[in-house]
């Protein structure tokens, strides 16, 4: 027992002494070992993380296959469950939401200070056109954020097996954001700094809300309304950033966002905004009979990107 305590003490003491500076200039005074070495070729540490990163960059187009399989499984899963009783899965659902809440919270703690630092030290144009966020500690969480879009598809498994209402926005969002995030990471798109920061914050709040609901805490309904409004705000900011990048590139200035990525991102954010606006109106302004029966935020498992 004494040996274990000594080892833990030495480990945390090492963490205190572990400091690193990201390419943007921000200094992280408390850094985990895997955050520093996950993409370094001069160390044998964390080969799985390096392999996953390399795989995602080189095989990003596999995301199309994953999205198609995902949609097919939704279709066949709903047919399979049609004549069968629903699964409760409350313990599994609670664990899953807590896991994603913690992941999102830690990610937000890492990427949000970086974007604040960049805006203060380098300005808005740098924040949307320089992809320094793809490297260092922030780079790890940017990669993890994009890669996580694949396991996040499990959200829909719970909806299908629990026989909850599944709306178009939910699976359209999951499929398209998986493809876009993997494609964007392949390009190390600079605007990902904003997209990752905004979404990590929204997910931190949203999955915490889902976890508390799964634990049977009574949460005021206005909380889900606020989360949906945050999602809508995210779409508006996303569209604005894309328009600013378009203007910068039109003026001949350098911006590390490809024209194709800009087009896809604009289409994605615009369609998300329309779908979320429709959802908000249906759920909170003019609730339909489906909404009254329980199709609101906590059941649909809707997320933004």
Structural domain contains residue 161: yes
In whole angstroms, give the CA distance from residue 57 to residue 146.
11
Q: Which two tokens stand for residue 302?
A: 């809707």
Q: Which two tokens stand for residue 249?
A: 């590139």
Structural domain contains residue 23: no
User: Catalytic residue at 173?
Assistant: yes
Residue 5: predicted pLDDT: 55
Among 168, 180, 147, 154, CA closest to 73: 154
* Average per-residue pLDDT for the chain: 88
Domain containing residue 82: 60-300
Look-up of token digits 């699976």:
171
Query: Is the per-residue pLDDT at 200 higher than 90?
Result: yes
- 79 φ, ψ (degrees, to nearest 5): -65, -45
In whole angstroms, give the CA distance from residue 273 to residue 286.
18
Structural domain contains residue 76: yes
Least confident window among 28-37, 147-156, 237-246 = 28-37
Residue 304: predicted pLDDT: 38
Structural domain contains residue 50: no
Tell me the pLDDT band of 21, cut-offs 50, 70 and 90: confident
Structural domain contains residue 46: no
Structural domain contains residue 245: yes
Instruction: Considering only residues 206 and 49, tell me which one the structure prediction assigns the higher pLDDT.
Output: 206
Q: Which two tokens stand for residue 256?
A: 């590390």
Instruction: Considering only residues 11 and 198, tell me which one the structure prediction assigns the higher pLDDT.
Output: 198
Tell me the pLDDT band of 300, cut-offs 50, 70 and 90: very low
Look-up of token digits 């998986």:
178
Structural domain contains residue 13: no
Catalytic residue among 173, 174, 203, 296: 173
Q: Which two tokens stand for residue 87?
A: 């699964």
Tell me the pLDDT band of 41, cut-offs 50, 70 and 90: low
Structural domain contains residue 40: no
Q: Is the pTM here over 0.85, yes or no?
A: yes
Q: 27-28 and 20-21 as β-strands: parallel, antiparallel, unpaired?
A: antiparallel
Helix (H, G, I), strand (E, B) or coil at 269: helix
Query: Is the per-residue pLDDT at 160 higher than 60?
Result: yes
Go through 159-196 and write b for each residue having 16 or more CB atoms within 10 A of its CB, e for each that does not: bbbeebebbebbbebbbbbbbbbbbbbbbbbbbbbbbb
Residue 50: predicted pLDDT: 85
In whole angstroms, give the CA distance from residue 208 to residue 195.
20
Domain count, the chain: 1
């Amino acid at each position: 027992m004494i040996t274990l305590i000594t080892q833990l003490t030495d480990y945390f003491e090492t963490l205190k002494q572990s400091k690193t500076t990201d390419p943007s200039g921000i200094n992280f005074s408390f850094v985990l070992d895997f955050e520093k070495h996950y993409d370094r070729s001069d160390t044998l540490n964390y080969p799985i993380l390096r392999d996953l990163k390399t795989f995602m960059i080189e095989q990003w187009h596999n995301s199309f296959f994953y999205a198609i399989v995902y949609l097919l499984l939704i279709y066949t899963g709903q047919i399979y469950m049609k004549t069968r009783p629903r699964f409760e899965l409350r313990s599994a659902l609670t664990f899953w939401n807590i896991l994603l809440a913690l992941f999102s919270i830690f990610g937000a703690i890492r990427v949000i200070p970086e974007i604040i630092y960049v805006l203060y030290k380098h300005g808005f144009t740098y924040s949307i056109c320089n992809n320094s966020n793809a490297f260092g500690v922030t780079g790890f969480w940017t990669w993890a954020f994009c890669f996580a879009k694949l396991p996040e598809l499990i959200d829909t498994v719970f909806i299908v097996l629990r026989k909850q209402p599944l709306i178009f926005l939910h699976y359209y969002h999951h499929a398209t954001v998986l493809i876009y995030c993997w494609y964007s990471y392949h390009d190390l798109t600079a605007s990902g700094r904003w997209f990752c920061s905004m979404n990590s914050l929204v997910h931190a709040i949203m999955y915490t809300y889902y976890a508390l609901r799964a634990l049977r805490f009574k949460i005021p309904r206005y909380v889900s309304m606020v989360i949906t409004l945050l999602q809508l705000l995210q779409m508006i900011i996303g569209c604005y950033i894309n328009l600013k990048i378009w203007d910068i590139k039109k003026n001949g200035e350098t911006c590390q966002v490809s024209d194709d990525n800009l087009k896809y991102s604009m289409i994605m954010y615009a369609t998300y905004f329309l779908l979320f606006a429709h959802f908000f109106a249906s759920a909170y302004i003019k609730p339909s009979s489906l909404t009254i029966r329980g199709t609101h935020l906590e059941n649909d498992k809707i997320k933004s990107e």
